[in-house]
Amino acid sequence: MRRTAAGYFVIAAALATACLAQGAFAGSDGETPAKVPAHVEKTFLIPSSDGYGVGDCLTTPGSECGQVVANAWCEAQGYAAANTFGIAAADEYTGAIEQPVSTPSERPIRITCRD
């Protein structure tokens, strides 16, 4: 059984089309590897008087419940876990307006979540 050069070309073209359709190549040019998504972080500012009573837990340094509450907040927002939490610094929620520093109980709570 003899095959011509045209027959080999048809077979090679069909294989190349099948590989491209299945995404066999990593990058768009077939040589560069696909890029991994970047690490995602987001910081949430929550009013300290949110009505849930978790302000004391999140603002007390070294409290055992702080990490648990922060992780639960992040999971509810679609993130994996909390990186940091605590009382937000004045420049995190107001930087353009000069105001007297509020008492820590009035400042919002900061929770930084990660993917």
For the stretch 63-113, pLDDT in tens is: 778 999 999 999 999 999 999 999 888 777 765 566 665 555 577 899 999
Q: Where are the beta strands (DSSP E) in 20-80?
A: 41-46
Considering 24-28, 29-33, 37-41, 69-73, the range whose residues carry the highest mean pLDDT is 69-73
pTM for the complete prediction?
0.58
DSSP element (H, E) containing 84: strand 81-87
Q: Measure CA 88 to chain center.
A: 20
Task: Dihedral sign for Cα 52, 58, 59, 64, please.
Answer: positive
